[in-house]
Structure 1
């Protein structure tokens, strides 16, 4: 690679920083999350921004602030928001930084019109630029004004050197107008809803620009119907074809649908500290990949609780990732790749060195507990010189302590135990009928067992994905689960849907929702039926006793790095088919059988999971790669980090049932 993914992201933000001197910066949540992983708010301030605000119709620039920079996904809704902000301000210099390519912006602006000729002629970029500039000139409404529109692909964050995520595409999921499978075998982009099409095109376009910036020429592999759509755009889009002609670094891009294996993302059986923290603590406001850490134990300020200000002071939450602190970046990497014990010792050793006079001195401990870390952190309370100097590390320490001391952790441990029981029951008897009965009882007794309905739905998602087509559940037992769910939804619908219903929930309505959810579970069990080799994820343990879960991604990567290069029949290469026949037609009688293209033929491989991934999966996949001894650089990408509850809500699309 000519540059790394971190360097690509930093180069993009450098372009932003060059344009913000003296400006009020308005940015959307997606851009704000990407900024957080580059260094955060102070990167904008230190590079010359006079103010930073949310891209909201309720915001505006002050009277004396004449320059505004908008960082946006450039959807029609966001463009209207920019219009409102400009109307409420008195700016004369306006810059719009679009995080999606102008080809996509052109389709968005001209939604409903036939613009195929312009796109095919590769004139969409110029047309979108002209249209946006004219809109801005009209909105500013002054003869003497400066407007500029620029595309900067702000869409990647890099939690580690080998893992990257794409926050603007956190809502992209392998569905076809809310269905898990397309209605017909022959499907295209128009099998998707308008919003889904926009996200698919935007992701493909963003990847294209990233490859161009990194001088990459990709071979595209895919597994899953949805990934084939993204692969098709990257393979056939005129702008992608043109870019590949000018790039020289070969790379293999492997796209995989998350829906092929939902076990890994709905499992609570994780060694990763990061997965535990994300499952326990609330999300950092507006973000999908970081958490909010309660900082009140370090400060004398009161926190915002129960809808009212206490002493009119609000304490901002802390978080886990701190890009400008190398020590914190290392600790964050440990939260993904090291054991809980190693993370605890790492935190203890670093925190022990903060303030020798106030903190307990480093000791040789056999075990570091949350209490021992908490004791060191508490010693820094009120010492704001120490707090400011080591704020990132203190936030990470508090985040881990709050997780390990949370009552939620016992619920997660119970769910881990249940998952192991289910796994062994199914492995021992593929026609096992006790599993659903057990879960049905758990749903009924959930409050006595301190189990949330959300986590039990995640467990059911895990079970149905785990068994796939190998187990046919008893119809009566499924009906029993459905009945239990309907009663639970009636009782817990407000917390499940996190909103008030327009009309009161009735038993009839909860029964209808329960039926739809059960139908979805049955769809989930069928997702791997299209696979030949990776259709089962319950495998005998290497020790010879018992069975274990080995996910589709894990099996794929193990085959990928196997020196014997076994045939990966489920991994399709975008160039397979008629093109190969035509290319070899002249020599078909004399040539040997064409060797199948292998991802490791290229020195760099990017495995991208559409629909989310866990830190535990990243760790296991990376471990398989480095222990294999292959020389290839293998990067792991996805749309976001997910927790079991988030993964369940994504695949069930739970919010659609609230109406």
Structure 2
């Protein structure tokens, strides 16, 4: 079939609506069919990625329909299995001869990641049927760089265990990269599978069936492809949860610098194949990102099965390499297109090109909430609220809401405890269903102060609607100020005391999130850091403006260096000083590293002098060597520096004989390596000639304009004759480099807006502040430019970007360097 013609009937609004991609509607429809066909009365286990997706679709829909819902982990202990409410329900139902039990498992990753856990579930209790749904296609499993497949004997089982051959199994196929590792894995996997490309799903089906504790031959096990594993953290922003830990590796940026400096770039390019063998983590991220993106686009019929009408515009070295991987995968597909599809422009952007936004302390309410509530769990963009609010079991709350008073009175606490174990912390439902009344949608554009006012009004409306005779003003007036969390805590207790916690769980969760954010704001020195960042921004703006005015004057260049030094010097001076006269504590290592990343990314390729960096290293060394014992529990210290001092204690005898380096030398080497990584971040925009600066305005009014906003503005304003090198279309016919630059040029200039369906996908995620700016930019362009009014631009990313996720990515890079 041909591509859907979005260009027909330009003035027909009804036609445009038909062709629009409705992400949330598609997701709802997928799960609606799943609920109706496969989940009625089953025992459901979901991994954390699918749990996140189901949360965004109102989790109680699944809890109500299923016998019970449990969070699947990669392993289970026998003790934990006994405690799961699942097996109590199964045992009670199994006494009836007519009853049957069905286990449904939903995983967003590879089957082998959860194979042991699934086999333990099946062996622990007798099920009549097992259905495993995976969002990774069979060919995604087969082309994995290091596949872990069941033994070949399992593949000889009868084909009675049916496999769903989804149309996308051919769309997410084949080797994911041109490097020898993927090629070797393909050949080895193919040979191990045996004859005729035998189904990977069937092999796992047979393996699971062998592990099942079943006395009857009627037991059936099916592994099936289920692609809908994305979630909407905003009505206009989708994320692929399985990629939540993916951060663009600076590995490719280092190779790009080698290419720029080498006269034999072809030799350096070919070495990528062999070098990647040593980076299993990078291979895993590349494979996961490639196939989950292809799964997402195929499910929405974006681009043809063979990649026709899929135009990729990579921005950044990792994005460029990923574009090549996607093309390599699609080029191996031999499949006729049988359905209509949308031509699509896919803009891939590396997060490390601009770290200012996520490393700054925004005034946006959701940015503050996510940065506060996600500190201890960077892998799930859910808000974890500890015991301030303990969610009641669903069926208990259902009974309380029943109008039958007799049923309420007969529901005792002992019978309730056997239904579903209550959660000890609430995971973020983050319902973004597109309804303007959704609290999370509203908070996305508010400051924290505005969020507090809004939530108080919401509770007043709830009290009025539920006819509760109480004066809200009297509750909050004694709380000690508008921004004091005690008043909000009392409002939460009010709703709990009237058994309204589950009914208004979105509002309750938002209240809890704001309470925790307010309680942690002083501890995290949010306001102090926000003020400091504004000063750094003004200093950088002054230096940048002066540099632009005096590019040809050597003396003025020296002055410019002084200004650049003063920017980093300001950070060095505060590292070992008390935060304020009223606060004798010092900034944590996490806060200091976040400030340094903010500064390096803001300044860009101009970077800082050796003297400035030496001063920073001296300050950091002094801070680390004099940490209080309580500060040594900091995760950054444990990951990056604790081993230095642990080794030093063990090797004191060797040090006396000169056999080992001192801890002081090791620490300086470690800090130098950390700054080297920050230097790579600073130079990462060097090739983006149109977007090297993130600063706008003059000396007295400099402002930060994110790279994403600049890219989208330029993309939407690009004319047919205007070339933007940073937004050059990937052309696989003539590769000048594997790393995102030097693509073969076509005779015709291709623009992102040449297709009416556009995805802008950020590898490393967006902040809510950036998301709001992008939405405003897009809406303004579509209002003022009629030719864009019928374009649909989808914004996506791996997660919500916070300083926690960025620092985690940077520390992982440093850890990899240390191990290598």
| TM-score category (smaller protein) | 0.7 to 0.9
Match of 2:540 in 1: 426
CA distance in 2, matches of 1:24, 1:412: 44
CA offset digits 1:584-625 (Å, max 9, x no partner):
xxxxxxxxx944111112222111000122111111111111
Look up the SS of the partner of 1:83 in the other structure.
helix
Pick from 367, 376, 382 the counterpart of residue 275 of structure 1.
Answer: 367
Candidates 481, 504, 524, aligned match of 1:390: 504
Quick one: distance in 1 between partners of 2:817 and 2:288? 27
Note if contact 1:373-1:401 (Cα within 8 Å) is conserved in structure 2.
Answer: no
Q: SS of 2:425's equivalent? A: coil
Q: Which residue of 2 aligns with 1:583?
A: none
Alpha-carbon distance in structure 1 between the residues aligned to 2:633 and 2:255: 29
Q: Write the mapping of 1:212-227 to structure 2, written as runs, cut at 5 A.
A: 212-217=298-303, 218-227=310-319
Does residue 1:496 correspond to 2:635, yes or no?
Answer: yes
CA distance in 2, matches of 1:414, 1:105: 48
The alpha-carbon deviation at position 553 of structure 1 amounts to: 1.0
Q: 1:347 aligns with which of 450, 455, 469?
A: 455
Q: Counterparts of 1:110 and 1:564 in 2: how far apart (Å)? A: 50
Q: Where does residue 95 of structure 1 map in the other structure? A: 131
SS of corresponding position for 1:249:
coil
Q: Which residue of 2 aligns with 1:457?
A: 593
- Does structure 1 conserve the Cα–Cα contact (< 8 Å) formed by 2:43 and 2:103? yes
- Measure the CA separation in 2 of the matches of 1:400 and 1:562: 39
Q: Match of 1:317?
A: 425
SS at match of 2:314: strand
User: Does 2:728 correspond to 1:572?
Assistant: yes
Whole-angstrom CA distance in 2 between matches of 1:241 and 1:337: 46
Q: Does 1:33 align with 2:73?
A: no
Residue of structure 1 aligned with 2:292, choices 206, 212, 215: 206
Find the partner of 1:613 among 743, 766, 773: 766
Matched, 1:636 2:764: no
Q: CA deviation at 1:514?
A: 1.6
**1:158 matched to which residue of 2?**
232
Q: Which residue of 1 aligns with 2:446?
A: 338
- Determine whether 1:194 maps to 2:280: yes
Q: Supply the distance in 1 between the matched residues of 2:294 and 2:521 (Cα, whole angstroms).
A: 45
Q: Report if the CA contact (8 A) 1:487-1:510 is conserved.
A: no
Q: Which moved more, 1:245-254 or 1:151-160?
A: 245-254
- Secondary structure at the aligned position of 1:338 is classed as coil
With over 3 angstroms needed to count, the CA separation of the structure-2 counterparts of 1:79 and 1:229, relative to structure 1, is farther
Distance 1:33 1:488, change over 3 A: farther
Q: Does 1:438 align with 2:521?
A: no
CA change 1:296–1:114 in 2 (3 A) is closer
Q: Per the alignment, do residues 140 and 70 of structure 1 end up closer, same or farther by CA in structure 2, a change over 3 Å counting?
A: same
Per the TM alignment, residue 374 of structure 1 is displaced from its structure 2 partner at its CA by 2.0
Which residue of 2 is the match for residue 137 of structure 1?
Answer: 209
Q: Which residue of 2 aligns with 1:10?
A: 28
User: 1:526 is matched with which residue?
Assistant: 683
Check whether the contact 1:212–1:247 (CA below 8 A) recurs between aligned residues.
no
Cα 1:208–1:408 change in 2 (3 A) is same
- Distance change (3 Å), C-alpha of 1:110 and 1:442: same
Structure 1 residues 119, 535: CA separation in 2 closer, same or farther (over 3 Å shift)?
farther
Q: Do the aligned partners of residues 97 and 177 (structure 1) sit closer, same or farther apart at CA in structure 2, a change above 3 Å counting?
A: farther
TM-score (norm: length of structure 1): 0.84
Residues of 2 paired with 1:130 and 1:204: CA distance?
24
Cα distance change of structure 1 residues 649 and 211 upon mapping to structure 2, 3 Å threshold: closer
Q: Distance in 2 between matches of 1:125 and 1:14?
A: 33
Aligned equivalents of 1:549 and 1:561: distance in 2? 20
| Displacement of 1:274 | 0.3
Looking at structure 2, the residues matched to 86 and 297 of structure 1 have their Cα atoms a distance apart, in angstroms, of 34
Looking at structure 2, the residues matched to 20 and 498 of structure 1 have their Cα atoms a distance apart, in angstroms, of 46
Measured after TM superposition, the shift of residue 8 of structure 1 is: 2.9
Q: Among residues 738, 747, 756, which one is paired with 1:603 in the alignment?
A: 756
**Whole-Å Cα distance in 1 between the matches of residues 293 and 779 of structure 2?**
25
1:624 equivalent in alignment to 2:738:
no
Quote the Cα distance in structure 1 between the aligned partners of 2:432 and 2:231: 14
Q: Are the equivalent residues in 1 in contact too, given 2:126–2:213 (CA < 8 A)?
A: no
Stretch deviating more after TM superposition (605-614 or 28-37): 28-37
Q: Is the 8 A contact 1:351 1:376 kept in 2?
A: no
Structure having the higher Rg: 2
Match of 1:648? 807
Could you tell me whether the CA contact under 8 Å between 1:321 and 1:328 is conserved in 2?
Answer: no
Q: 1:50 to 1:294 in 2, by over 3 A?
A: closer
Retained in 1: the 8 A contact 2:55–2:428?
no
Q: Specify the SS of the correspondent of 1:354.
A: helix
Residue 44 (structure 1) aligns with: 62
Q: Alpha carbons of 1:241 and 1:335: their partners in 2 closer, same or farther (altered >3 Å)?
A: farther
Q: Secondary structure at the match of 1:573?
A: coil
SS in 1 for 2:731: coil
What residue is the counterpart of 1:403 in the other structure?
517
Q: State the shift of 1:158 in Å.
A: 0.4
The separation in 2 between residues aligned to 1:124 and 1:81, in whole angstroms, is: 30
- RMSD over aligned Cα atoms: 3.9
State the partner residue of 1:309: none
Distance 1:358 1:325 in 2: 32
Structure 2: gaps spanning 5 or more residues: 1-18, 95-100, 150-180, 260-267, 304-309, 394-416, 544-559, 649-662, 736-745
